[in-house]
Structure 1
Amino acid sequence: MIATTNKAASARRSDGSGRSGIAKRVNRTGWAFMAPFAILFVLVFILPIIWAVYSSFFRQVSTGGGAYGGGELVNQFVGLENFRYAVTSPEFWSGVGRVILYTVIQVPIMIIAALALAMIIDSFVVKHVSGFRLGYFLPYAIPGAVASIIWVYLYNGQISPIVKGLAALGINVDFFASNMLLASMANITTWTFTGYNMLIFLAALQAIPHDLYEAARIDGANGWQVATKIKLPNVRSAALLAMLLSIVGSIQLFNEPTLMQTADPGISKSYTPMMMALNTSRGTMTPGGDGPASAIAIVMALIAGILAMIYALVERKVNEQ
């Protein structure tokens, strides 16, 4: 009996160590597969953030050269001076105001359009779902810079078929007018990202159990009631994700105003904070250099995070009521 017990215990120990060895090999295999992504993630995401934070505490200053300048540029530690410049600059806050207004107007329109398209595709109205889904998503596959170039051409009053067509109807529109610039940029972003957000909503709709639909129809619910009582409540988490991504993306508005500036020189170099950061790093704004530009980018990242957090908290409070 004792010998049998010892053999069983030994077998258990052997089996346990075997399972432990297999688990270790599986873990090593998993880490090996993840290593390329982890290395690239650190190189292209983590290290640039660390460098931006580090450089934000320095500013390029000239040394020597006498009364007429000509000295060598060196990086000098200035502490929080670059951040003070960013948060006290009227141009910076004017740009922040523009992108916040842009976000308040553009994001809700885009999210509502994306949800409507997803609801239509998920219904029985559309027959060839794949074609519609690909057609709506296709603008997102076009690089943002290319999409902006296309729309700058379509906004150009001298060559645009849209402007000429409206003019033939007696409607004169200047898409580069000061009171139309944000709307023109919002149109580009909405055209580009509505299909992307539609896929987020469509995935959430297709994850809803069909038993709920069958139970609702048995209870006599019509299509409108199914959409409003079952589908919409079940896409709240997807709506939160889409809104958060859109807020963070819109607050970093850059491609559209930068490329529209090529056709409208009246757009200032600090029209948005990201444009201000780029032109500061190029030295076309004073103070110039990587330090002030990094400080502007970090402040904008904090603002985007705060806005996203506020929206998430408000959304949670509304859902709890």
Structure 2
Amino acid sequence: MIPFFVLFAVATIAPIVYAGYMSLYTEKSSGLGFGGTERSFTGLGNFAEALGDPAFQRSFGHIAVYCLIYIPVMIGAALALALLVDSALARAKRFFQIAYYMPHAVPGLVASMVWLYLYTPGISPIVDVIENLGLGWNFFGQDEALYSIINVSAWQWIGYNMIIFYAGLQAIPRETLEAATVDGAGAMRTALQVKIPMIRSTVVLTLLFTCVGAIQLFDAPKLVQLRATELGVDWSPTMYIYNVAFDGHDYGLAAAASLLLALIAGVLSFVVTKIGNRWKES
């Protein structure tokens, strides 16, 4: 286990410690910018500045709205597909497992670029079909851009979570399903009252990973923002951190915001786990 802990310390612990060190300092320019920069100790000043920044606060509001729509759609669709593939009437199960999983095999940045092309008028066959039907939909509009981001994420993650749910369904004893059939339960009732309750732990685990991943959302909104400028460069917390660090060159504030994001993700994980455990016990 020593190689693992060495790699973990170098790739995870050391960056966190360094971020903590950077968050305690700020760089100030002197001589109208011609006198170089001077690093000064600010204590918790960067944390207070990040928490008090309206842009940082709004970014979490955007992610909250995103999660309210994305999580039910993604979890519901993945669970429905897993139940369909697991059903007795399904054929070519291995083919559909691979087909549904393929979008996840595409790197997130590449997937976002593909959908950016499919959203762009003049070159997108999807936009052409919508226009030929006489419908109007601007994928980069102020209200529509959120759904464009959700679509990219759902397209990439539904198949992945479907595989996890399907694996959980395979662990259900066949005797239990046969007993439900003997008792007169149909396919829908078996799915809702037998299969789903028996994979509650899998659903909770998937929900936990989804929440943690959602709060770190970056690539899809970053690329969509190139066309949907109304989103702003700090639409999500990670975009805010990126903008502060590499456009504003305030690495102390960016480090503080990163640690706050990690803390919020940890609290969110704890809350989701507690709620999930109560659901499993009910």
Partner of residue 307, structure 1: 268
Q: Is contact 1:163–1:172 with CA below 8 Å preserved after alignment?
A: no
3-state SS, counterpart of residue 43 of structure 2: coil
The aligned counterpart of 1:18 is none
- For structure 2, the residue ranges without an aligned partner over 5 or more in a row are none
- Quick check: 2:141–2:228 contact (8 Å CA) kept in 1? no
Give per-residue Cα distances to partners, 1:249-281, cap 9 Å, x unaligned: 011111011111223334322111111101111
Q: Is the 8 A contact 2:201 2:280 kept in 1?
A: no
Contact 1:57 1:77 (8 Å CA) reproduced: yes
3-state DSSP of counterpart to 1:171? coil
Q: Distance in 2 between matches of 1:261 and 1:88?
A: 24
Show CA shifts across 1:11-39 (max 9, x none): xxxxxxxxxxxxxxxxxxxxxxx333332
Q: Deviation at 1:228? A: 2.1
Equivalence for 1:48 = 15
Q: Given that residues 78 and 165 in structure 2 are in contact (C-alpha distance below 8 angstroms), is that contact kept between their aligned partners in structure 1? A: yes
Distance 2:168 2:47 in 1: 41
2:33 to 69, 76, 101: 69
Please provide the CA RMSD for this pair.
1.6
Counterpart code for 2:23: S
Q: Does 1:121 align with 2:85?
A: yes
1 CA distance for matches of 2:27 and 2:143? 37
2:232 pairs with 1:271? no
The separation in 1 between residues aligned to 2:111 and 2:78, in whole angstroms, is 18
Question: Which residue, 109, 128, 131 being the options, matches 1:167?
Answer: 131
**How many pairs does the alignment contain?**
282
Is it true that 1:317 corresponds to 2:281 in the alignment?
no
Task: Please show how residues 16-165 of structure 1 align to structure 2 within 5 Å.
Answer: 34-63=1-30, 65=31, 68-165=32-129
Residue matched to 2:175:
211
Q: Secondary structure at the match of 1:36?
A: helix
Whose Rg is larger? 1
Query: In structure 1, what is the equivalent of residue 256 of structure 2?
Result: 295
Is 1:107–1:246's contact at 8 Å kept on the other side of the alignment? Answer: yes
Per the TM alignment, residue 40 of structure 1 is displaced from its structure 2 partner at its CA by 2.1
Give the Cα–Cα distance (whole angstroms) in 2 for the partners of residues 131 and 35 of structure 1: 40
Q: Any idea what the Cα deviations from partners look like across 1:181-236, whole Å, max 9, x if unmatched?
A: 11110000000011111111111101111121222233333322322222111111
CA distance in 1, matches of 2:217, 2:89: 36
Q: Distance in 2 between matches of 1:164 and 1:57?
A: 52
Deviation per CA, 1:116-167: give whole Å up to 9, x if none. Answer: 0111111122211111000101111100000000001111112111111100
Displacement after TM superposition at 1:52 (Å): 1.3
Task: For residue 241 of structure 1, report the CA deviation from its aligned partner.
Answer: 0.5
Unaligned runs of 5+ in 1: 1-33
Residue number among 184, 191, 213 corresponding to 1:249 in the alignment: 213
- In the alignment, the residues of structure 2 paired with residue 260 and residue 221 of structure 1 have an alpha-carbon distance, to the nearest angstrom, of 46
CA contact (8 A) 1:110 1:194 kept: yes
Could you say which residue in structure 2 is the equivalent of 1:202? Answer: 166
**What is the match of residue 187 of structure 1?**
151
> Helix, strand or coil: the match of 1:70?
coil
